[in-house]
Amino acid sequence: MSEPELPGPGIGSLATDALRLIIAAVDEIPSESWDQPSNLEGWSIRDLVAHTTGSAAKIVALVEGGEIWQKPSVPDDWKYEDPAGRLRELAARLQDALPGADLDAMRPSPQGEVPLRRALTFPASDLAMHSWDVYRSQGRLVELPEHLLAFCRELVESLPEDMLRRPGGFGPAQPVPEGATPTARFMAYLGRSVA
């Protein structure tokens, strides 16, 4: 599988922007909504945020050269009393670690050992896409910033259909209403209901 050409900013900026985006989404969750179902079947909003916190922790571990787990982040592994605070802590660590990071250093990824710049694409896109899920779980449709949407689309388009739609991946594409925004069209392609 070839490495996609990343549009616009470098991967460090994309990962930082995706982390900021999920922090902003989490900050808007009302206290009474945390245990309500999310738009992802079987997960509460708390579970969704716990999963994204795991993805943020994976980004930081990759950049810092720490130990990496080779499975998706499971909500039970990442429940914190202050999820937004934990995400801010991870954002500060990422900001400290990025300037000295060797983006060509080999790191583990779902595709095996790859340069850090490639290893970051999966968890960074996970944060961007799940920020949309956090808003959608509260009945809101939002647009991903153009550069993050292009980044996520580029990664998704680089994956074979069987890898994209495997169990634990993305569901079948959903109907797209007339006049849907670019983000809504993309999320419907990934199996999210946008109607």
Tens digit of pLDDT at every position of the chain (195 positions): 334 444 346 999 999 999 999 999 999 999 999 999 999 999 999 989 998 999 999 999 999 998 887 666 655 556 667 888 899 999 999 999 999 999 999 998 877 899 999 999 999 999 999 999 999 999 998 999 999 999 999 999 998 888 888 877 888 999 999 999 999 999 999 999 998
Torsion sign, CA atoms 175, 6, 112, 73 = negative
- Number of structural domains found in the chain: 1
Query: What tokens were used for 16?
Result: 């930082």
- 114 in a domain, yes or no? yes
* Predicted pLDDT of residue 153: 96
Task: Tally helices (H) and strands (E) across the chain.
Answer: 8, 2
Is residue 145 within 8 Å of residue 153, measured between CB atoms? no
DSSP 8-class letter at 37: B
- 20 in a domain, yes or no? yes
- As a whole number of angstroms, the distance between CA 143 and CA 38 comes to 18
- 137 in a domain, yes or no? yes
Q: Which long-range contacts (CB under 8 A, 24 or more apart) does 35-41 make?
A: 36/137, 37/137, 38/133, 38/134, 38/137, 39/133, 39/136, 39/137, 39/192, 39/193, 40/133, 40/137
- As a whole number of angstroms, the distance between CA 148 and CA 153 comes to 8
Q: What is the CATH classification number for the domain harbouring 91?
A: 1.20.120.450
By CB neighbour count within 10 A (0-12 exposed, 13-18 middle, 19+ buried), where does 154 fall? middle
- As a whole number of angstroms, the distance between CA 120 and CA 142 comes to 24
**pTM, whole model, 2 decimals?**
0.88
- 97 in a domain, yes or no? yes
- As a whole number of angstroms, the distance between CA 145 and CA 125 comes to 12
- As a whole number of angstroms, the distance between CA 18 and CA 166 comes to 24
- 32 in a domain, yes or no? yes
Q: Which range marks the domain in which residue 85 is found? A: 11-141
- 56 in a domain, yes or no? yes
* Predicted pLDDT of residue 151: 96
DSSP 48-73: HHHHHHHHHHHHHHHHHT----SSPP
- 93 in a domain, yes or no? yes
Residue type, 9: P
* Predicted pLDDT of residue 77: 58
